[in-house]
Structure 1
């Protein structure tokens, strides 16, 4: 009787662990920005907690005008590799103007 109860308890615990949804490791949605003379660019469903250097951004010409249409908070950095002291935190749905310059981003 005890063995049957132990097996039933273990099986129930495993089923419970498998039934609980695991949080995805990506932000859902699009992060948009502009490069060069205003050419639109973006990232779809970016990976969370991973620094992303923005395609098209260079040392001479950073990206600008970010729009965070993901479900995660985006922290944008002026420097590559999410470094430096100049950064801005963008909540989901936030749009910023052409004056904000950025080269990398990380999502919560």
Structure 2
């Protein structure tokens, strides 16, 4: 009798193990920011469902020699965003919780999501 209960518990445990979904590989939602376009006008930028744990250099402001950094980020994802002042997640960094917003004073060129 005990052997049947033990075997049933083991089978149930294995079923739960394989039924559990893998952790998400994306920060679901949008990460918004503002940057200056080639004409000096404010323009909106967005990353949609960005991959987690990968560095995302913002394409509009990737080159520090020719562009101003982005600013005023809004983290509308479900993950913490760590923003960097340089491209390739280099330089000073700041974190923004899910749902958080920062002012125009916060400058960034790249971001990684937890």
TM-score (ref. length: structure 1): 0.85
- Following superposition of structure 1 onto structure 2, how do residues 1-108 of structure 1 map, counting pairs within 5 Å? 11-36=11-36, 37-57=41-61, 58-59=63-64, 60-84=67-91, 86-108=92-114
C-alpha distance after superposition, 1:75-103 (max 9, x if no partner): 0000111012x111000111111111100
Question: Runs of 4+ in structure 1 displaced over 2 angstroms?
Answer: 4-14
Q: How many residues align?
A: 107
Gaps of at least 5 residues in structure 2 are none
C-alpha distance after superposition, 1:34-72 (max 9, x if no partner): 111310010011100010000201313111110000000
User: Which one has the bigger strand percentage?
Assistant: 2
Gaps of at least 5 residues in structure 1 are none
Give the Cα–Cα distance (whole angstroms) in 2 for the partners of residues 12 and 93 of structure 1: 38
What secondary structure, in the 3-state scheme, does the structure 1 residue paired with 2:16 have? helix
TM-score (ref. length: structure 2): 0.81
Give the Cα–Cα distance (whole angstroms) in 2 for the partners of residues 10 and 83 of structure 1: 48
Give the Cα–Cα distance (whole angstroms) in 1 for the partners of residues 71 and 58 of structure 2: 10
